[in-house]
């Protein structure tokens, strides 16, 4: 359902991106909107908005159900989106792409179904201390159900995994990580990129270590998909979860990639229409993949919108977008650090364009409110990472998260408005 042409692959022209996001013309408190809350949800380019409305205006029908023309067209559009996503993350098969309502649902699916398949009393599930609540609580619930234990990789002062030894050029990651897993570990569930710290985690290396010990690996990719080229076969993970709305796509749609062999063995998560082969009152049998895990009418418009968002990103250069965001991060980091008493939470070497900070004597809610008065949208609070806040001894932070359409002038506006707010609040 591609509605626009003319992809740009050459030099980075931020204005070219800005022109495609209608919301950027909005005023907030009479000021031009500066949107720095992309890690919570990104803004949507016109193409994505149009793809969703075109579906409703021209081919709205239920999928995989009718023989009529509209149903066929809707089914084709949905399955084309599945193929676009498969290709984007380099999954082997389109039926390894399961549509869910978002990362949260994807991880709940994985935790519930994998838990039932794998976990027994005394087993261990390993997560890290920087996980979003969505990658903590589903595993806690699974552990409770099956008598397993949740183990947590600690976090260093710079906001990286603390695996017992600082990995350096002469310290192969494999060796540094030997104590993370025991013979009881069954599942490793880790985020690719931290939503609060911006840290890009060396997931590939840890997955390689886990695989050697037969551990099943689940990656929370919610914050990676908007910034990094993800290749699930290269990463070697068994599962990869993400949301559409953080990657220029619609809300209410997400993906769980799962390796075919495991998905085949796993029990269904939800029951209902579309996920069955035969139903009778004694016993039902399940549809083939991916439908076994897609009970009920899917978010068809969302799926088509997500396919369009991924196509849109692929028409540009994701590396160039991420590099642009890093120039904004570098400026924000340098300038914000000139503020007396400001501390950045998350100073890893490898980061995406996310900056979290606290300022002595200034509450993040007050700062967020004053920034909003200047038209600047940032996220304040614990960012659904309460254990991580405890680790750093703070109740919350102010977080600015950048996207392809943000500008240096906007970063300067953030810095100036923060300085002004600090003067008022101290
Ligand atoms: C790292 C991470 N994981 C999971 C989630 C949950 O995503 P959703 O609310 O789209 O289900 C988020 C959302 O902020 C996130 O940043």
In a domain, 46, yes or no: no
**Is 243's C-beta closer than 6 angstroms to any atom of ligand 1?**
yes
From ligand 1's centre to the CA of 408, what distance in Å? 27
10 pLDDT tier (thresholds 50, 70, 90): low
Residue 410 belongs to a domain: yes
End residue of a domain, out of 262, 292, 314: 314
Mean pLDDT in residue range 330-336? 98
Residue 79 confidence (pLDDT) above 50: yes
pLDDT of residue 126: 97
Determine whether the shortest distance from the Cβ of 305 to ligand 1 is under 6 A: no
CB 220 within 8 A of CB 193: no
The whole-number pLDDT of residue 163 equals 87
Active site residue 384: yes
Of ligand 1's atoms, which has the minimum distance to the CA of residue 134?
4
Residue 293 pLDDT greater than 90, yes or no: yes
Same domain, 304 and 406: no
Lowest mean per-residue pLDDT among 5-14, 120-129, 242-251, 356-365:
5-14
Pairing between β-strand 254-258 and β-strand 97-100 as defined by DSSP bridges: antiparallel
pLDDT tens figures, 233-248: 999 999 999 999 999 9
* Confidence at 65, pLDDT banded by 50, 70, 90: confident
Q: What is the mean pLDDT of residues 392-406?
A: 98
Q: Does the C-beta of 401 come closer than 6 Å to ligand 1?
A: no
Find out whether the beta carbon of 222 lies less than 6 Å from any atom of ligand 1: yes
Tell me if 45 is assigned to some domain: no
**Residues pairing with 356 in the sheet:** 399
* Structure confidence at residue 164 (pLDDT): 77
The reply to whether 209 and 352 lie within a common domain is no
Identify whether 124 is part of a domain.
yes
**Which pair of tokens denotes residue 53?**
């409305």
Strand partners, 188: 126, 217
Residue 8 lies in a domain: no
Tens digit of each residue's pLDDT (9 = 90 or more) over 33-62: 999 999 999 999 999 999 999 999 999 999
CATH number of the CATH domain containing 241: 3.40.640.10
pLDDT of residue 11: 81
Nearest atom of ligand 1 to the alpha carbon of 41: 14
In this prediction, residue 5 has a pLDDT band, given cuts at 50, 70 and 90, of very low
Name which residue leads in pLDDT, 8 or 210. Answer: 210
Please give the residue range of the domain that contains residue 411: 14-40+317-425
Asked if residue 223 has its Cβ within 6 Å of ligand 1, the reply is: yes
Count the neighbouring beta carbons within 10 Å of the beta carbon of residue 390.
12
What is the predicted pLDDT for the residue at 6? Answer: 47
Same structural domain, 388 and 362: yes
Percent of the chain with pLDDT over 70: 94
Say whether both 187 and 104 belong to one domain: yes
Span from the CA of 104 to the centroid of ligand 1 (angstroms):
6
Query: pLDDT at position 66, please?
Result: 77
pLDDT of residue 407 exceeding 70: yes
Answer yes or no: is the C-beta of 191 below 6 A from any ligand 1 atom: yes
Q: Whose CA is nearest to atom 13 of ligand 1?
A: 40
Q: Ligand 1 test: best mutation among 39, 40, 42, 104, most atoms within 8 Å of CB?
A: 104
The pLDDT of residue 3 is: 41
Ligand 1 contact via 134 beta carbon (within 6 Å): yes
- Name the domain count of the chain: 2
pLDDT attached to residue 180? 87
Per the domain annotation, does 5 fall within a domain? Answer: no
User: Among 82-96, 155-169, 408-422, where is mean pLDDT lowest?
Assistant: 155-169
| Domain boundary, last residue among 279, 314, 349 | 314
Clarify whether residues 382 and 238 are in a common domain. Answer: no
Per-residue confidence at 165, pLDDT binned at 50, 70, 90?
low
Looking at the predicted structure, is the pLDDT value of residue 377 above 70? yes
Question: Is 107 exposed, middle or buried (CB count within 10 Å of its CB: 0-12, 13-18, 19+)?
Answer: buried
227/194 Cα distance (integer angstroms): 12
Q: How far is CA 256 from the centre of its chain?
A: 11
pLDDT mean across residues, the chain = 94
Crossing angle, helix 300-315 and helix 318-336, to 10 degrees? 80
Mean per-residue pLDDT for 355-367?
98
- pLDDT of 8 higher than 50: no
Is 3 inside a domain boundary?
Answer: no
**CA-CA distance, 120 to 143, in Å (whole number)?**
9
| Separation CA 162–CA 180 (nearest Å) | 10
Closest atom of ligand 1 to 101 CA is 11
In terms of pLDDT, which residue wins out, 322 or 180? Answer: 322
Report pLDDT digits (tens) over 20-33.
999 999 999 999 99
248-287 pLDDT, tens per residue? 999 999 999 999 999 999 999 999 999 999 999 999 999 9
DSSP-H helix ranges across 186-317: 203-212, 232-235, 260-265, 300-315
Residue 221, pLDDT score: 98
User: Given ligand 1 and candidates 103, 133, 226, 228, which is best to mutate, with the most ligand atoms within 8 Å of its CB?
Assistant: 103
Averaged over 334-359, what is the pLDDT? 98
| 171 and 62 within one domain | yes
Pair of tokens at residue 384: 């659904």
- For residue 47, report the distance from its CA to the centre of ligand 1, in Å: 24
DSSP 8-state secondary structure symbol assigned to residue 101 = S
* Distance between Cα 195 and ligand 1 center (Å): 8
Q: Tell which of 314, 345, 370 closes a domain.
A: 314
How many Å is the Cα radius of gyration of the chain?
Answer: 22
At residue 1, the pLDDT reads 41
pTM of the complete model: 0.95
Tell how far the Cα of 220 is from the centroid of ligand 1, in angstroms: 8
Ligand 1 in reach of 336 Cβ (< 6 A): no
CATH number of domain containing 419: 3.90.1150.10
**Residue for token digits 């680790």?**
391
Asked if residue 175 has pLDDT above 90, the reply is no
3-state secondary structure of 135: helix
Residue nearest to atom 12 of ligand 1 (CA): 222
Q: Which atom of ligand 1 is nearest to the CA of 254?
A: 10
Q: How confident is the model at residue 406 (pLDDT cuts 50, 70, 90)?
A: very high
Pocket test for ligand 1, best of 111, 130, 195 (most atoms within 8 A of CB): 195
């Amino acid at each position: 359902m591609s509605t626009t042409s003319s992809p740009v692959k050459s030099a980075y022209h931020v204005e070219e991106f800005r022109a495609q996001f209608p919301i950027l013309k909005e005023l907030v408190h009479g000021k031009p909107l500066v949107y720095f809350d992309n890690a919570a949800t990104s803004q949507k380019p016109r193409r994505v908005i149009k793809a969703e409305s075109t579906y409703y205006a021209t081919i709205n029908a239920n999928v995989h159900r009718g023989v009529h023309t509209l149903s066929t067209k809707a089914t084709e559009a949905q399955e084309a989106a599945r193929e676009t996503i498969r290709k984007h993350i380099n999954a082997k098969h389109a039926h390894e792409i399961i549509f869910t309502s978002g990362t949260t649902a994807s991880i709940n699916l994985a935790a519930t179904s994998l838990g039932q398949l794998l976990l027994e009393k005394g087993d261990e599930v390993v997560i890290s201390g920087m996980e979003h609540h969505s990658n903590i609580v589903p595993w806690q619930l699974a552990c409770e159900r099956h008598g397993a234990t949740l183990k947590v990789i600690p976090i260093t002062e710079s906001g990286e995994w603390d695996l017992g030894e600082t990995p350096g050029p002469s310290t192969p990651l494999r060796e540094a990580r030997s104590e993370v897993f025991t013979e009881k570990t069954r599942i490793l569930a880790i985020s690719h990129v931290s939503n609060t710290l911006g840290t890009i985690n060396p997931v590939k290396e840890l997955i390689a270590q886990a695989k050697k010990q037969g551990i099943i690996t689940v990656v929370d990719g919610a914050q990676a998909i908007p910034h990094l080229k993800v290749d699930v076969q290269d990463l070697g993970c068994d599962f990869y979860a993400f949301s559409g709305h953080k990657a220029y796509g619609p809300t209410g749609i997400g993906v769980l990639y799962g390796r075919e062999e495991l998905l085949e063995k796993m029990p269904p998560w939800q029951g209902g229409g579309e996920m069955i082969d035969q139903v009778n009152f004694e016993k039902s049998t399940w549809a083939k993949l991916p439908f076994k895990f897609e009970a009920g009418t899917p978010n068809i418009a969302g799926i088509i919108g997500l396919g369009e968002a991924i196509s849109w990103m692929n028409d540009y250069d994701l590396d160039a977008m991420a590099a642009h965001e890093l120039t904004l991060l570098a400026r924000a980091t340098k300038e914000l650090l000139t503020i007396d008493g400001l501390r950045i939470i998350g100073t890893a070497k490898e980061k995406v364009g996310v900056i979290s900070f606290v300022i002595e004597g200034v509450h993040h809610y007050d700062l967020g409110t004053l920034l909003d008065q200047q038209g600047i949208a940032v996220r304040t609070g614990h960012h659904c990472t309460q254990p991580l806040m405890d680790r750093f001894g703070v109740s919350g932070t102010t977080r600015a998260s950048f996207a392809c359409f943000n500008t240096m002038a906007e970063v300067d506006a953030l810095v100036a408005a923060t300085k002004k707010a600090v003067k008022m609040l101290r």
